[in-house]
Structure 1
Amino acid sequence: MKKLFILLALSCSGNLYAQKTYQLSKIWETDSLAVPESVTPVGDGRQMFVSLIDGTPFDVDGKGGIARITTDGKIINPMWVGGLNAPKGIAVMQNKLYVADLTEVVVIDIPSGKIDLKIKIPEAEGLNDVTVDSKNTVYVSDSKNGIIFSIKNNVATPYITSLKGSNGLKAVGTDLYIGAGPVLWKADANKKLTKIAEGFESSVDGLQLINKDEFLITCWNGLVYSVHSNGKFNKLMDTRGVMNTADIHYDQKKKIVYLPTFFKKSVIAYKLH
């Protein structure tokens, strides 16, 4: 009887820690936006910023900008700030919006909607994603050179230089999660790299946390995955050839994924359940 009890307990324990299978259900889709790449919430939680390439992904053409939309999909301003060059990743820190703009990080004052400054990133060729850690350090990836830079006091320095194709970034405390090619990595405060998961069907683009043990990642060509910290992952969406899946935001309280569709020119909200 004792042996049977132990076996039953182990079986139940295994079920408790089984990886959850998620699904995505569409809630809404915006009207047309000029090639949206990334989305992040405004501080009030009722609006969102959207980076707009409005051209090809790596052209210095001054056509790009930032839009503002509501969290229920209405476009407030289709070009809140303009004159940017294929902007991609965006992040908010202390009433400032930090924008990856090819070779520099543009800092926009949110209350006024004016550009405060442009931080030149040394030798950058293709800045892509931006995130901010718990100590207000800004990180930006240069996908073309495989370098991640840290920015403190408006000065950029190389932080991690060994990950080819570095793209999606997510700072959690003093840890930095990185999507580089088909691999998800974690860098701790000492820059020690640990491989979390690998084997995605394309290169990682967007990167968000579902909870402390699970992630959502996108691959630009139309793939969305849920990923467990044990390295296992499930495919939630495959729209290859139909719709791009760019740099997402996930609202953990509402359990809503906000997904820019790039050349499909919209942002779509999905319920994660």
Structure 2
Amino acid sequence: MKTLLKLLFFILSISTNAQGIDKSLYAFDFKMEHLPIAERAKLFAKLGYSGTTLRVQSDKQRDILKSYLETKEFTSGELTIPVVFFGFNFSNNIETQNIMWRKTLAALPQGTAMWVIINGNATKEKTLLLLKTMAQEAQKVNKDIVIYPHDNCFIESAEEAIPYIEELNEPNLFLTLHLCHEMRAGNGNRLLEVAIKAAPYLKFASISGTNVTMFANDKANWSDAIKPLDQGDYDVSKFVSVLQKIKFKGKTMLHTFGIEDEPKEHLSRSITKWNALVDSTYKIQNNDLNHILDNPENAYWDSISKSWFISNLGGEKVTLEKDGYGWITRLDENGNIISNRWIEGLNAPTGMASYKNLLYVGDRGVLVEINISTGEIIRKINLPNSEFINDVAASRNGDIYISDTFTNTIYKLPEGGNIEIFVKNDLLEYPNGLWVDKNELIVATWGPMTNRATFETSKKGTLKTINLKTKKISPIGKGLPIANFDGVIKYGPYYYATDWTGGRLLKINKKGDVKEVISGFSQFADLGIDTKKGRIMIPEMSKNRFIFYNLKSF
């Protein structure tokens, strides 16, 4: 059998001149006491740093801050201090510390925020009150308070800080993502997940060279997690890639605590490494298909705009979280990228369909309506009581159908009408893929699910039809179990459906007879078709790529 199969692994999409995240880098001033302040400022500027950060807690440290600000490099604006840090220890005198942090806040120049590390005999209630007081005092002088998660302190990681920010809901309360402290928290392999959660509140990040294996968290020795950026056996490009992926807009600090090398030497090596990391991660992310796509779920062809659209769940996994880290990638008819993230800020977009100039996208709990010409979201239509919105299909008259896999429900958005439940019936056996074929809705089922976490089923799914007028549900053929189906389309007299778990494309006739078209892939997701050419696109979710296949050749 002769087939036409085209795998796309790599696509050049845009110019690589841009850098993505802010390339400026600010260094902590640890182990620089032997240098006069003026010499430190000159060194930072000469090496290409954008400024520094330091501890400002005592009167002496406030004098050091003032000395920095009086140097030529800082008065000219060549260097800045975006943030200073203050450690609040609830085991020490509270009244004294309250006076001290207020002094520090008052000493800060405009544009400089205050980090706070919470330590000692802290509790949730005490910490909430302190952060609220700090934030409200800072608002009076137009300053920001930023939580500094620190290993072996009360708030040790970014995830631990988020509930405090969300509960207080103060407009000037933010957090920081420190690579060293996330490594100590055991998050080295889940940085993207952490960063997605932290992204709405993230103002600063800090980076350092680090090892994979950490010391026990009660050790004062930080040589495992804080090294010059060119040292350590952990691949720090992973951290920079995460910042690129979430489109981090804040400032990044180079952590230097405990580094014994001569400052000029290690700071020089680190900024050279930083510049290379920012450039390389941006190029890879924007020119390597494996990084442009992230859990691609559905491919859809729109004949009017002559564009392919691919929905990306984002986050490197199937998730039900409403995290705002999902997007639509737009391609031309040959699969060349038009826009990496044509529509952003979705949660976990799945199936798509178009009618006239509108693209309809299934997302967590909603149907998203997008103007294809302008690339603007027109509205998000609530899908009441939905749990796992999956595929979307459009009829010729503009009715839109949406499957909710977990609740055995098909929603309908009539042309010019309001959302309604079209069918809700356990006979649907966890409906996934949808396709409108004249007066019938074709449903590719996943199969009765026994474990939502693993998507295991008691039996495989099959193909069914729903009469659009009578709503009668019927099997195609004998309704025998076939596969855990994802997407389905019709071309000629045959149905073509993807077997997600089996990594296959199957051809099925109206009697239910099955023939394997292609196999050997992993997580074949929801396919789309250019019906005029007989050309289909299938995302391979686990590999962050897609294939083109010409059905005329089969």
- Band of TM-score, shorter chain: 0.7 to 0.9
Name the SS of the counterpart of 1:149 in structure 2: strand
Match of 1:167 in 2: 432
Of 508, 511, 514 in structure 2, the residue corresponding to residue 233 of structure 1 is 514
Which residue does the alignment assign to 1:15?
Answer: none
> CA, structure 1 residues 76+223, in 2 after alignment: closer, same or farther (shift >3 Å)?
same
Match of 1:133 in 2: 395
Q: Distance in 1 between matches of 2:304 and 2:334?
A: 14
The aligned residue for residue 366 of structure 2 is 104
**Paired residues of 1:147 and 1:164 also in contact (CA < 8 A):** no
Q: Which amino acid aligns with 1:61?
A: D
Aligned to 1:5: none
Q: Name which of 27, 46, 49 aligns with 2:6.
A: 27
Which residue in the other structure is 1:256 paired with? 535
How far did 1:186 drift?
Answer: 0.9
For residues 24 and 128 of structure 1, do their structure 2 counterparts lie closer, same or farther at Cα, with a shift above 3 Å needed? farther
The Cα offsets for residues 115-166 of structure 1, whole Å up to 9 and x where unpaired, read as 1000000100100000011221100000011100111235211111111211
CA contact (8 A) 1:170 1:208 kept: yes
Structure 2 SS opposite 1:50: strand
2:512 alignment partner, SS class? coil
TM superposition score normalised by structure 2: 0.43
CA deviation after TM superposition for structure 1 residue 250, in Å: 2.3
User: How many percent identity over aligned positions?
Assistant: 28
Tell me the amino acid that sits aligned with residue 483 of structure 2. Answer: S
Query: Which amino acid in 1 is paired with 2:519?
Result: D
Give runs of ≥4 in structure 1 deviating > 6 Å. Answer: none
Name the SS of the counterpart of 1:155 in structure 2.
Answer: coil
Between structures 1 and 2, the one with greater strand share: 1
Deviation at 1:84, TM superposition (A): 0.4
CA distance in 2, matches of 1:42, 1:117: 20
What does 1:35-54 align with in structure 2 at a 5 Å threshold? 35-44=295-304, 46-54=306-314
Change (3 A) 1:81 1:30: farther
Q: Does 1:90 align with 2:355?
A: no
Query: Greater RCO between the two (CA within 8 Å, min separation 6)?
Result: 1
Contact 1:30–1:73 under 8 Å retained in 2:
no
Q: Which residue of 1 aligns with 2:442?
A: 177
Aligned mate of 2:488, from 197, 207, 230? 207
Corresponding residue to 2:505 among 204, 224, 244 = 224
Give the length in aligned residue pairs. Answer: 249
Distance 1:110 1:238 in 2: 33
Equivalent residue letter for 1:172? D
- What residue is the counterpart of 2:420 in the other structure? 157
Matched, 1:191 2:471: yes
CA gap of 1:167–1:85, structure 2 versus 1, over 3 A, is same
Following the alignment from structure 1 to structure 2, what is the Cα–Cα distance between the partners of residues 59 and 247?
Answer: 20
For normalisation by structure 1, the TM-score amounts to 0.86
Instruction: Kindly state the Cα deviation for residue 30 of structure 1 after the two structures are TM-superposed.
Output: 5.0
**Cα contact 1:214–1:228 (8 A) shared by 2:** yes
Mark the structure with the bigger radius of gyration: 2
**Structure 1 segments unaligned to the other structure (5+ residues):** 1-21
Q: C-alpha displacement at 1:71, in angstroms?
A: 2.0
Q: Which residue of 2 aligns with 1:81?
A: 343
